[in-house]
Amino acid sequence: MKRLTASLALLALSIGSALAAPTLRPAAFDNARLSRIDRIALRSMPAVDVAKLRAEDLKRGRNEAPRFATSLPVDMNTLNSGTWEDLDADHAVWRTRIESKNALTLNFHFDQFKLPAGARMLIYPADQTPGSNASRVRSFTAADNNAFNELWTPVVIGDEAVIEVVVPRAKVGELKLHLAGVQHDYKGLGRLAREAALEQATGVSGSCNIDVVCPEGNAHRDVIRSVAAYSKQGTMWCTGSLVNNTANDKKMYFLTANHCGMTTAAIAASMVVYWNYQNSTCRAPGSSSSGANGDGSLSQSQTGAVVRATNAASDFTLLELNTAANPAHNLFWAGWDRRDQNFSGATAIHHPNVAEKRISHSTTATQISGYNGASGSTHLHVFWQANGGVTEPGSSGSPVYSPEKRVLGQLHGGPSSCSATGADRSDYYGRIFTSWTGGGSAATRLSNWLDPSGTGAQFIDGIDSSGTPTNTPPVANFSSTASGLTVSFTDSSTDSDGSIASRSWN
């Protein structure tokens, strides 16, 4: 709550994963006794018909989660595949190679995954060398074990990868590892993958979109850090956002769209979230560079989530990510506003078409409506500026913010595109207002999770990774006039990111 206290001359203001495992070096880099990589058993996956996949993609609806990979079943474990070797007197190492010809990236689904204490697993490109970028190596420890005893991994660049497990000899019997699926990326998730395929136009967003590092993002530096891209079952892609709750306890609540499909325990467990995936420079909107590959990194990631609430009426899903925030990622939990009203404008932050993070602004008042122009009040209709960004497939689930930088809802869909004009340059967002009560139960509404103690708050501000709520103080502006023994006071105080809750006088 925000309060103003005034004396005649003096005014006073008051404002009402375990962490991701570190990157490690492949064991062979520091142990010459181990076999060379090319002597480790190789499992080759069946050929992928990319032309058929692309033809299927053309038939997918604009508001469906875009697909970037296809899943290939496999049956591999530490007994029927790979090679065991002695690493030292106390540790053993198991390695295997997997190839899916012409894949731009690979990611993996272990339907049995349990690392004993002191063990670690690395997944890295087969061409990794001591001089290669260490961020290409994905690393996991016992801290990544979960209640589902499974693991979905972030992507690894290239069409051949090495899976390596180092385990204390005394605990080899505790290791559980079964690889059930290999996901073959045929579109190019990330710049390195797309450039390797020399497909500059595949997987990148429209040139009218605006990088979040551009000046248009200056007023939103905090909430930009709340938005992330994520994959589902290693093959599809959407956007979502960390959101704060009234306890200000940095629970890993992540809001996205119901239609993205993150609605069951099994699918939520497959979630891989990519933080701070954005271009390092501002590419001029409308330029060829803005429509080409960016230089964003996919190195900051975490896996797994559980479903807390979901409802199709306002197209929302609230997840809780399995692991706490990594301080190195410098995340932000966005505030929200559940009031039943329109707003003078809005801002969207999103990942269009499997590409780096973008920002879009609207200076037109929002309109309460049903989805896609239908009657009702479940959605906000947002109209984008003629010379600004829009949204695209892959932006689904991304947040739209009020002028006070509070989440008003998440993207359901709409006709917008860089070529759209007039009313078609717009989108529909499922409203926090509607989702608050949802379907009337904890599993179908937001209220139980975002206001756990039942404060009844209509809106709250965001909170930084430092734990400090980002509430801009109100500006006190009182004046007085005297006529004899009568004194009249005028209050012209303002609050740039909310409303003044109360005033107290002395």
Which residues form the catalytic set? 259, 315, 396
Sign of the Cα torsion 125, 127, 130, 131 reads negative
SS3 of residue 384 by DSSP: coil
Q: Tell me how far CA of residue 22 lies from CA of 74, 154, 396, 494, in angstroms.
A: 28, 14, 31, 46
**CA distance linking residue 11 with residue 473, whole number of Å:** 13
Name, in order, each residue with C-beta under 8 angstroms of 183's C-beta and a sequence gap of 6 or more.
Answer: 69, 70, 71, 72, 106, 107, 108, 109, 233, 234, 235
Q: In 100-168, where do the E strands start and end?
A: 105-114, 120-125, 138-141, 151-152, 156-157, 160-168
In single-letter form, the type of residue at position 446 comes to L
Q: In 233-315, where do the E strands start and end?
A: 236-242, 253-257, 272-275, 301-303, 305-311
Which residue is listed with tokens 């967002």? 429
The 3-class SS string of 31-56 reads CCCCCCHHHCCEEECCCCCHHHHHHH
Question: On the CB side of 195, how many CA atoms lie within 13 Å of its CA?
Answer: 9
Pairing state between β 3-6 and 210-211: unpaired
**CA distance linking residue 344 with residue 354, whole number of Å:** 30
Which residue is listed with tokens 């359901």? 412
Which residue is listed with tokens 């801002």? 347
Task: Look up residue 10 and give its DSSP letter.
Answer: -
Q: Tell me how far CA of residue 318 lies from CA of 42, 57, 191, 266, 277, in angstroms.
A: 40, 27, 29, 15, 21
**CA distance linking residue 82 with residue 96, whole number of Å:** 4
Would you give the distance in Å from CA 493 to the centre of its chain? 37
How many beta carbons lie within 10 A of that of residue 252, not counting itself?
20
**CA distance linking residue 454 with residue 448, whole number of Å:** 8
Tokens coding 188 = 């190019």
